[in-house]
Amino acid sequence: MVWGHAKCIYRLNPESSWEDALERNTLNALDEVPLASMRRFVLHAHRFADAYRHGLDGAQAAWAARKYKGHRMLPPDFLKEMEAAGIKRGGNAHAGL
């Protein structure tokens, strides 16, 4: 996610074919990614990792990461809320996505 953010910043620089300019622009783009953004990216990754540890698939993990933005990990009763939202556990079929 940090690299994707840095690529957006990098594209704002003028094009160049000089290797030293490319390297300088890349390093500057990486330096311009705000620390607050990096922290949000890490928390987002933690939420997905925790969802995968609970056996959720990609769509289910994405739902959980959106629903529980204020938490580093999923709350103990998230499975009940997931079922109440009509999200099936253990399969790729999902009624809500």
Kindly report, residue by residue over 2-18, the tens digit of the pLDDT. 999 999 999 998 888 89
Q: Is the pLDDT of residue 97 over 60?
A: no
Q: Is the pLDDT of residue 59 over 70?
A: yes
* Percent of the chain at pLDDT exceeding 90: 33
> Using CA of residue 14, residue 20, residue 24, residue 30, what is the dihedral sign?
positive
Q: What single-letter DSSP state applies at residue 55?
A: T
- Kindly state the average pLDDT of the residues 56-67: 83
Helix-helix angle 58-67:35-53, to 10 degrees: 130
Which residues make Cβ contacts (< 8 Å) with residue 87, sequence separation at least 6?
A: 60, 63, 94, 95, 96, 97
> Using CA of residue 27, residue 33, residue 34, residue 39, what is the dihedral sign?
negative
**95 pLDDT tier (thresholds 50, 70, 90):** very low
